[in-house]
Amino acid sequence: MESNTTERIERERHPVPLDTSGLGGWLVLVQIGLYASIVLMFKTILDGLEMMNSEAWGFFSEFHVLLGPLIVFEVVVTILILLFTVFVLIMFYLKKAILPRLMIILFGVSAAFAFIDLLWAYQIPLLEELDGGSLIREFVRSLLTCAIWIPYFIRSERVENTFVK
């Protein structure tokens, strides 16, 4: 009973300001990014599955020994990241305290995937030639996303008031 009273008194002394809690502010951009990521991942998965089911699959697997496994790797990892993103979105709307850590994991895994994909694809000479730097841009974009959003989820007052408290 006493701890309840102590907690209530503490909350009354340090109330959470309304403007720094909830799913507003910069968290709106996070929500938009999560939904956009889900849509883009669906497209990536469908494109990859189409390549694996097409007549061209024989060409892909014969063209270079790493090309077939690369396509399978991209599809499988994208499915796993898609499932994790949906889970993160559910935790986001449930305002679970674990959400900041989940977002940091999601950003880190996405950057690691972009890096592995870049290294793997550049082992195939024709892909490196045809890429035009898009894989490098994707990796740099992932790093910038990490550089911006990981500190936000660690230090933001809104994140703390919405998810941690």
Tokens of 81: 């990241």
Cα-Cα-Cα-Cα dihedral sign, residues 91, 95, 97, 101: positive
Asked if residue 116 has pLDDT above 60, the reply is yes
* Per-residue confidence (pLDDT) for residue 11, from 0 to 100: 55
8 Å CB contact between 99 and 92? yes
pLDDT (tens digit, 9 = 90+) per residue, 49-76? Answer: 888 887 777 777 777 888 889 999 999 9
8 Å CB contact between 107 and 114? no
Model confidence pTM above 0.85: no
Tokens of 13: 């002394």
Q: Which residue has the tokens 């880190």?
A: 108
Return the higher-pLDDT residue of 13 and 32: 32
Asked if residue 163 has pLDDT above 80, the reply is yes
The rounded Cα 18 to chain-centroid distance in angstroms is: 28
> Comparing C-alpha atoms, which of 16, 33, 163 is closest to residue 98?
163
pLDDT (tens digit, 9 = 90+) per residue, 22-45? Answer: 778 889 999 999 999 999 999 999
Return the higher-pLDDT residue of 80 and 16: 80
CA angle 62, 68, 74 (to 5 degrees): 160
* Per-residue confidence (pLDDT) for residue 98, from 0 to 100: 95
